[in-house]
Amino acid sequence: MVWPLAGTCGIGCHFSGARRIIPAMRTLFLLIGLCVTGIALAQSQAPGTGNPYEARVPVTDQSAGTRDAALREALATIVNRVGGDGAATQAGSLIAQAPQLVQRYGYDKDETGATVLVAAFDPRTVDSRVKGLGLPVWGVYAAEVEDIQLMIRGVSDRSSYLKVMALLRGLPSVRRVDVISAKADGLALSVRSEGGASRLNGALLTSGTLTQDYSTGTSELVYRVLATAP
């Protein structure tokens, strides 16, 4: 039985046989939970997040010391974004130069009214410096955006769903994730990613969370959640 999801939230379903109503309702509740989480993920990655080489950092005041510390935090965020989680921990010498490397900065208010520093850095300068440290660069500035269809198997409950979404959300190239449909233990997704399918595929296979699934007769962009995934 297939339970299609319209976009990221609408659910259409039907029942055949009274004996299936209870299991079907359980599946329905699970899909509603997945749907709500999918909406939150899509909103967090929707267009409007802005320049990937720009970051917002909360500040308590606008003094020079606070500003410089916030600029370093902003650059660390950007380095992690373009080089992958943890890249900033290996780029201490680069982060320390943030006040000298910043292209522009200013102050804004967040949704609570608190002050935030908004800082932007030159993409090519950041990429060049990160590469100079021997770190990988995703190239999110120049990479072409592509909508990629994925099938993830082994997604049988909310926990495994959240694990997959956390993985995708943590990839520097991923801009949006939409749930297309859920069937048995499989989840069909549309992933908007910079750098193309090959780059996304490489990142997923080195994550320790997914492996390619050959049971369908094709190995292209079909994965299964590893039982030992963290």
Each residue's pLDDT tens digit in the chain (230 positions)?
444 443 444 333 343 444 444 444 444 445 545 554 444 444 444 333 457 889 999 999 999 999 999 999 999 999 988 887 788 999 999 999 999 999 999 999 998 999 999 999 988 889 888 888 888 776 555 556 788 999 999 888 888 889 899 889 888 778 889 999 887 778 899 998 877 777 788 788 888 888 888 776 555 588 888 876 55
Tell me how many helices (H) and strands (E) the chain has.
7, 10
Helices 123-132 and 64-83 pack at an angle, to 10 degrees, of 70
pLDDT on residue 204? 86
pTM here is 0.45
Q: Which of 81, 83, 74 is nearest to 101 (CA)?
A: 74
On the 0-12 / 13-18 / 19+ scale of CB atoms within 10 A, 129 is buried
Q: What three-state secondary structure class fits 13?
A: coil
Q: Give me the pLDDT at residue 230, please.
A: 54
- Nearest 5°: CA angle at 220, between 214 and 222? 60
Residue position matching structure tokens 């320790």: 208
Taking CA atoms, 138 is separated from 132, 200, 210, in Å, by 14, 10, 20
